């Protein structure tokens, strides 16, 4: 009886699992050619200064337009890129696109303009010269390290072996700034804030989504902002979608906001138009 059930289950799941494995294999194969075939685009999302309401920075977010499958979310393909090691090439390309955007934005808003790029833990592994390559690229454009913010997640610092933390320090020594992405969702340990020189905390959108005048999420955001300022860090709230959320965040002293209320991530040319309007 058990054998029969087992066999039934076996024959039910196999085609599905096979199809999933095949889809994955295909995506991995296509990912390998995507850069060369110009299927990636970097979109930029404004980060707004909550006191002046002006665009102050941008976050670079990669997009993949697959010729048959259509738009594929980075949440889906970045893990595959990490597995295959393609993340290095892709990450360097996103960085270069970001540096080029900075170059175009500086005449509009000044030398302090920054673009932040996401960097996954895998990008810190197996590469020793990455910070030098990046710095060479920046100086080739007449830019300096402080025009780039590297976004990492808490997990990187908590599980950091000394190799990874050394590499992060190389980026810092080159003048690049560091932001903790999705802050508050990872671990409860805060000791890494003392150990590493961090510049920004990005409050995860799950805390911003249900912000109201009396809820616990407001208390959490306020506590994060207070702590951050005492440690001389700036705070960026992610996922700001309503004016009510924006106003509450400004009220508790949050420095910057990012979210659909201000703009969705947009192509570079469109970002430039938003920036010109904001700076006017």
* Least separation in angstroms between CB 108 and ligand C2E: 23
State the binding partner of 179 from Mg ion, ligand C2E, none, CB within 5 to 8 A by kind.
Answer: none
The phi and psi torsions of 212 (rounded to 5 degrees) equal: -145, 170
Task: CB nearer to Mg ion: give 61 or 105.
Answer: 61
Q: Are 185 and 148 in contact (CB under 8 A)?
A: no
x-or-dash pattern for ligand C2E, window 220-259, by CB under 6 A?
------------------xxxx----------------xx
Closest by CA to 116, choosing from 56, 59, 175, 46, is: 59
Q: Pick from 203, 209, 177, 193: which is nearest to 257 by CA?
A: 203
Residues 115-134 that bind ligand C2E (CB under 6 A): 118-120
Residues in 79-138 that interact with Mg ion by CB under 5 A: 118
User: Smallest distance, Å, CB 159 to ligand C2E?
Assistant: 17
**CB of residue 87 vs ligand C2E: minimum separation in angstroms?**
6
197 interacts with, out of ligand C2E, Mg ion, none, CB within 5 to 8 A per kind? Mg ion
User: To 10 degrees, what angle do helices 74-84 and 2-34 make?
Assistant: 90
Binding residues for Mg ion restricted to 179-198, rule: CB under 5 A: 181-182, 197
What's the token pair of residue 130? Answer: 């990455």
Which residue lies nearer to ligand C2E by CB, 22 or 53? Answer: 53
- Measured from the CB atom, the residue of 14 and 65 that comes closer to ligand C2E is 65
DSSP 173-235: HTT-EEEEEEETSS-S--HHHHHS---EEEE-HHHHHT--SSSHHHHHHHHHHHHHHHTT-EE
DSSP three-state, residue 266: strand
- Rounded to 5 degrees, φ, ψ at 119 are -130, 120
Helix (H) or strand (E) holding 59: strand 55-66
Which of ligand C2E, Mg ion, none does residue 253 bind to, with CB < 5 to 8 Å depending on kind?
none
Span near Mg ion by CB under 5 A; candidates 42-50, 133-141, 158-166, 173-181: 173-181
Structural tokens at position 21 = 């494995």
Beta strands 40-49 and 55-66, pairing class = antiparallel
Distances (CA, A) of 201 to 141, 180, 188, 251: 28, 5, 14, 17
Could you give the string, one character per residue 39-68, with x where binding to ligand C2E holds by CB under 6 A and - elsewhere? ------x---------------xx------
Least spacing, CB of residue 112 vs ligand C2E, in Å? 22
Site for Mg ion in 150-169 (CB under 5 A): 151
Q: Does 74 engage in binding with ligand C2E (CB under 6 A)?
A: yes
Tokens linked to 276: 């010109």
By rule CB under 5 A, what string of x and - marks binding of each residue 231-250 to Mg ion? -------x------------
Angle at the Cα of 147 from the Cα atoms of 141 and 152, rounded to 5 degrees: 125
Binding site for Mg ion (CB under 5 A): 118, 151, 181-182, 197, 238
Binding positions for ligand C2E, rule: CB under 6 A: 45, 61-62, 73-75, 78, 91, 94, 118-120, 151, 181-182, 205, 238-241, 258-260, 265
């Amino acid at each position: 009886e058990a054998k029969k059930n087992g066999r039934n289950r076996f024959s039910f799941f196999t085609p599905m699992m096979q199809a999933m494995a095949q889809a994955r294999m295909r995506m991995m194969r296509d990912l390998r050619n995507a850069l060369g075939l110009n299927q990636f685009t970097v979109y930029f999302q404004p980060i707004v200064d909550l006191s002046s309401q002006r665009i102050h920075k941008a976050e670079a977010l990669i997009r993949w337009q697959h010729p048959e499958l259509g738009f594929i979310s980075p949440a889906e393909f970045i893990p595959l890129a990490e597995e295959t090691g393609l993340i290095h090439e892709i990450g360097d390309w996103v960085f270069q696109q970001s540096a080029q955007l900075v170059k175009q934005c500086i005449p509009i808003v000044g030398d302090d303009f920054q673009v932040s790029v996401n960097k996954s833990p895998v990008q810190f592994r197996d590469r020793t010269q990455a910070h030098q390559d990046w710095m060479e690229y920046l100086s080739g454009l007449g830019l300096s390290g402080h025009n780039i913010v590297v976004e990492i997640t808490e997990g990187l610092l908590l599980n950091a072996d000394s190799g990874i933390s050394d590499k992060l320090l190389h980026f810092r020594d080159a003048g690049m700034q560091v932001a903790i992405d999705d802050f508050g969702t990872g671990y409860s340990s805060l000791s890494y804030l003392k150990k590493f020189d961090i510049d920004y905390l990005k409050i995860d959108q799950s805390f911003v989504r249900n912000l109201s005048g009396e809820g616990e999420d407001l208390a959490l955001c306020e506590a994060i902002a207070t702590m951050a300022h005492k440690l001389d860090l700036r705070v960026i709230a992610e996922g700001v979608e309503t004016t009510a959320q924006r106003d509450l965040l400004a009220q508790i002293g949050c420095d910057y906001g990012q979210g659909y209320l201000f703009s969705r991530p947009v192509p570079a040319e469109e970002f430039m138009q938003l920036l010109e309007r904001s700076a006017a």
